[in-house]
Structure 1
Amino acid sequence: MPNLPKQAIAVASIIGLSIVVAVILFALRPAPEQQDVEQHSLIIDVAIATKQALTINVSSQGTVQPRTETSLVTEVSGQVMDVSPKFENGGLVEQGEVLLRIDDRNYRAELKRAEAAVATAHSNLLQEKGRAAVAKEDLRKYPRRHASKEARALALRLPQLNEAKARLNSALADRRQAKINLDRTQIKAPYRGLIKMRQVDLGQFVSTGTPVGQMFSVDTAEVRLPVPTDRLAYLELPNNSQDDTYPRVILENDIGDRWPAEVVRSEGVLDERSRVLFVVARVNDPYRLENPGKPLLNGSFVKADIEGRKIDGLIAVPRHILRTGNQLWVVDDKQTLRNRDIKALRTEGKLVYVYEGLEEGDRICLSSVPSAISGTPVKVNSSMSTAELVKPQSESGMATFTELSSVQ
C-alpha cells in the first residue's frame, strides 16, 4: 500500500476531530425551556335561533310586453286622402279616433246605386203584391176546383211575389255592404293606445289588406316571468277555482324605479329546454296616464320579486355565514364552537331559510372565523334574535308588499 502524503493525513485528522467535538457539544446541549401557550378566546357575535312563519318571495326577470297589440290593415282600396296628426310613432289615440281616410268617392257612388236598387226592388215588391191581390180576387170569383197545387200558386202569382221579396232582401244586403265599405274608408283606433309604427303616408294608394301601422293598448302590460320548478312550491299561483288570489309582484328596472303588478295566470306548460314555468304578471296603467308616477315602457327589462306563501318553522340566517357542505358554527354551553349541518330552502338573496338542523334558542355564530376549528373557545360580544334579521332584508332593495298596497 503506497504511503499517504502528509497533507492528506492532516486533513483527515482535522475532520475527525471536528466530528468528535460536534458529538460532544450535541450531547452536552441544555434542554429546551418549556412554556405554556395561553389559548385566547375568539370574540364573536351570535344570533338566537327563532322559528318564524315567513313569506318566501321568488325572484325572476322578464321583458315588458303589451297585453294587446294590433296590426292595422285596410279592408278597401283607394288613395290615402287624410292622415291624423296623432297617427305617428308614439302618438296616443283614443278608441274610435280616425287615424286615416281613404278616398271614398267610389264607395259613396256604390252606396247610391245600392239605395236605388233597394227602391226599385221595393217598388217591384209592391207591384207584385198588388198583382197577387188581384189574382187572388179573380180566383175567388172564378174558382178552379180541379187545378193542381202548383197551378193555384202560379194563378196567385206566389213565385213572382217570392222573387220580388228575394230581390228586395238582396238589394238591402248590397246597401248594407256598401255602407260597411264606406265606413271602412276610415281607419279607426280599435282601443285607446299608442301608435308603434306608421307604414303609409298621404297620397299613397293602398289595396285591400295593405298594412298601414301597428298600435298597442296602454290600459295594461304583461311580463312573462320564468320560475324554476324547485321554486313553484313557494308560490300560490292562480287557478280557475281561485280567481281572486293573485300573488303580488314588484317590478324594478336597472335604475331602481318600481311598479306594482299581479300574477294573473301561468302558462301551464314547462319549457322543454330550460325546465321552467312561465307565469304572467300584469301591470295596470303602465304608462301612468291615469295615475302619477314614472311610465313603464314596453320592451323594458325588469327584475321581479314575486310574493310567496307563508311557511312555518323557518329560521332566517345570513347567507355569508353558511360554509361548504351546508354547515355553520353554533356556540354550545361550554362557550365553544361546534359544527352544525343544516338544510335550507333553495332561495336567493342575503338570507338563508333553515328548516332542519337548528332548534329554537340555538346560538348561531354571525362572525367570520376562517381559522376556527370545532372546540375553539369563544366569547360572545353581542347577541340578537334571528327574527331581527328579517326586517332589514325587507326594508332594503325592493319595497315591501305593505308599501305596494299603499301605492295602489
Structure 2
Amino acid sequence: MSSIRKQSIIAVLMLAVAAAVAVTLYIKRPPAQIAQPEFRPVSVDVAVAVKQSIRVEVQAQGTVTPLRETALMAEVSGRIIDVAENFLVGNFVAEGDVLLRIDPRDYQTELLRAQSTVESAESNLAQERGRAEVALREWKKLPANSQRSDEARDLYLRKPQLELAEAQLLSALADLNTARDRLERTIIKAPYSAVIRNKHSELGQFVTAGTPLADVFSVEQAEIRLPIPQSRLGYLALPGIQGGDQGAEIDLYTDVAGAVTHWPATLHRTEGVFDERSRVLYAVARVDDPYALENPGREPLRLGTFVNANISGREFDDIVVLPRYVLRAGNLLWVIDEQNTLRNRQVTVLRTGGDRIFVSDGLDTGDRVSLTALDPSMNGSTVQINSSIPSDQLGEGAPALSDEAADSNQVSLSAGPAAGTAAAQ
C-alpha cells in the first residue's frame, strides 16, 4: 500500500506543477496584435490588339506521283538483239532515246516484198492506162450509131480494169506502209523525257506483241494529291471546273532529321468530287522539273516522297493574331480593362492551326489581352502590367509548332512572322 500511496502523491504533485505553469503562461501572455492583410496584384504580360490583314494558309500532306507514267510493250514479235547502256532501273532517258532493238530481219523481208508488190501494181496500172488510151482512140473512130450504152463504152474503154489496177496499187501502198511501221516498231524509243521505273525484258529475250518491256514515268512535271476537308474549302481560291485559272502558290517541304527542304508548286486543279469515305476534296498540286534537270542546284523531288504543303489562300481583314495558348475553353480570353481588372471576353476565331489563333470578332483595336496563363477564379482581380507589346509584333519567341498542327488537314494562317510569345512565369 505504501508504494501505491507514493505513486499517487507523485502524480498529484506533477499535475499541480503543470497547472501552475499553465496559469503563469496565461497570465504573462503578450497582448494580441491585428495585422492588416497585404494585397499584391498579379504581374502579367499583355498584348495590345492590332487588327491586320492576313492570308489564309491551308496545310495538307500528300505523296509525289508522276504526271505521266507509261508501260512500254512490244508491238511486234522477235528476239531482243540490242539494249541501251542506260536501260537500267532509275536511269534517265531523253525523249526519242533508243531503249531496245528487236531483230528486224523478218520485217525487212516483209518490207522488200511490199515494195515489190507496189512496183508490180504500178506497172500493171501503167499498162492499163496505156490500154485505156488505145481503146479511147479506137472508140472515137467508131461510127456514132455504134455507140450503144454507157456501160458498153466503159467496158470498151477498160475503165473497170483501170479502177482494179488503181485499187491494187492502193492496197499495195497500204501493205508497204504497214511493213514500214512494223519495221519501225522493232526499235523501242522513250516516248518522253523519263526515268525508268521497272524493266521487264533483257537482251536475248524473245517477246511477242503485248509483252511488257519497261515502265517509265515523266520527269517534266509531277503531281501531289492534297486532301482538303469541306470545312476548309472556304479558305482557298480553288481553280474553276473548266480550268485555265492561275492556281494558288504552294510551298512543299520535307523535314528529315531537322533538315527542311522546300519546293515551289502551284494548285493546278481539284478532282471535283468529294471522297465518300473521308469527306475531303482532293486538290492537285503540280511541280515543274521535279528532278531538277533544268535547275542543277536544286534538291530533286523524287517520286514517292511524302511532303507537307502550305497552300496560299484567301485574305481576311480586321484579324487580331494572338498566341494559341491564351485561348481558353469556350473561346474565352483574359482582357484587362482601364482599371487593370481582369475580365472574361468571349471572341470569335477562325479555325486555328499551329501556335496561333486568329480573332475575327470580339476584340477592338487597343484592347489589352493577357499573355499570362491565369486561374479562372481570378475574374475581377486587379493585376499589374509587367510588359506590353502590340499583337502584330508577336513574332519572336513563338512557341514551337504543336504535334496537332502536323495533322494533314490542319489549317494555319499567316500574317508575316509567326505570332506568339512565351508567357510570363
* 2:271 aligned residue (263, 267, 270): 267
Match of 1:369 in 2: 374
8 Å Cα contact 2:43/2:385 also seen in 1: yes
Q: Which stretch of structure 1 is more off in the superposition, 161-170 or 262-271?
A: 262-271
Structure 2: runs of 5+ lacking an equivalent: 1-18, 407-411, 417-425
| 1:191–1:241 distance in 2 versus 1, CA, 3 Å | closer
Say whether residues 1:79 and 2:79 are aligned partners. Answer: yes
Say whether residues 1:99 and 2:104 are aligned partners. Answer: no
Return the letter of the residue paired with 2:50: T
CA distance in 2, matches of 1:122, 1:203: 40
Shift in Å, 1:228: 1.0
Match of 2:206 in 1: 205
The 5-angstrom pairing of residues 335-374 of structure 1 reads 335-370=340-375, 372-374=377-379
Say whether residues 1:316 and 2:317 are aligned partners. Answer: no
Match of 1:14 in 2: none
Shift in Å, 1:326: 1.0
| 1:94–1:401 distance in 2 versus 1, CA, 3 Å | farther
* Helix, strand or coil at the partner of 2:191: coil
8 Å Cα contact 1:248/1:401 also seen in 2: no
8 Å Cα contact 2:55/2:415 also seen in 1: no
Say whether residues 1:290 and 2:294 are aligned partners. Answer: yes
Match of 1:89 in 2: 89
CA distance in 2, matches of 1:149, 1:306: 78
Shift in Å, 1:49: 0.7
Deviations 1:219-274 (A, max 9, x none): 11110001111111111112267734221011111321111111011111111111
CA distance in 1, matches of 2:382, 2:173: 100
CA distance in 1, matches of 2:84, 2:396: 54
Say whether residues 1:159 and 2:163 are aligned partners. Answer: no
Q: Which stretch of structure 1 is more off in the superposition, 243-252 or 359-368?
A: 243-252
Deviations 1:74-116 (A, max 9, x none): 1101001111111110111010110000000000000000000
| 1:85–1:149 distance in 2 versus 1, CA, 3 Å | same
| 1:391–1:112 distance in 2 versus 1, CA, 3 Å | farther
Match of 1:15 in 2: none
Instruction: Give the RMSD, CA atoms, in angstroms.
Output: 2.6
* Helix, strand or coil at the partner of 2:255: coil
Q: Which stretch of structure 1 is more off in the superposition, 355-364 or 156-165?
A: 355-364
CA distance in 2, matches of 1:116, 1:156: 28
| 1:242–1:366 distance in 2 versus 1, CA, 3 Å | farther
CA distance in 2, matches of 1:401, 1:225: 23
Match of 1:5 in 2: none
Shift in Å, 1:380: 0.9
CA distance in 2, matches of 1:390, 1:130: 95
| 1:271–1:282 distance in 2 versus 1, CA, 3 Å | same
Shift in Å, 1:173: 0.6
Shift in Å, 1:386: 1.1
Return the letter of the residue paired with 1:323: R
Shift in Å, 1:348: 1.1
The 5-angstrom pairing of residues 43-192 of structure 1 reads 43-143=43-143, 145-192=146-193
| 1:391–1:230 distance in 2 versus 1, CA, 3 Å | farther
Deviations 1:355-405 (A, max 9, x none): 111111110111122365211211111111111126877x9999x999xxx
Structure 1: runs of 5+ lacking an equivalent: 1-20, 403-408
Match of 2:421 in 1: none
Q: Which stretch of structure 1 is more off in the superposition, 177-186 or 351-360?
A: 351-360
Shift in Å, 1:56: 1.1
CA distance in 2, matches of 1:371, 1:140: 120
Say whether residues 1:326 and 2:331 are aligned partners. Answer: yes
Match of 1:251 in 2: 252
Match of 1:382 in 2: 387
CA distance in 2, matches of 1:77, 1:342: 74
CA distance in 2, matches of 1:213, 1:203: 15
**TM-score of the superposition, structure 1-length normalised?**
0.87
Return the letter of the residue paired with 2:196: I
Shift in Å, 1:36: 3.4
Q: How many residues align?
A: 375
Deviations 1:102-161 (A, max 9, x none): 000000000000000000000000000000111111110114645222111100100000
Deviations 1:288-316 (A, max 9, x none): 11112111111010110001111111111
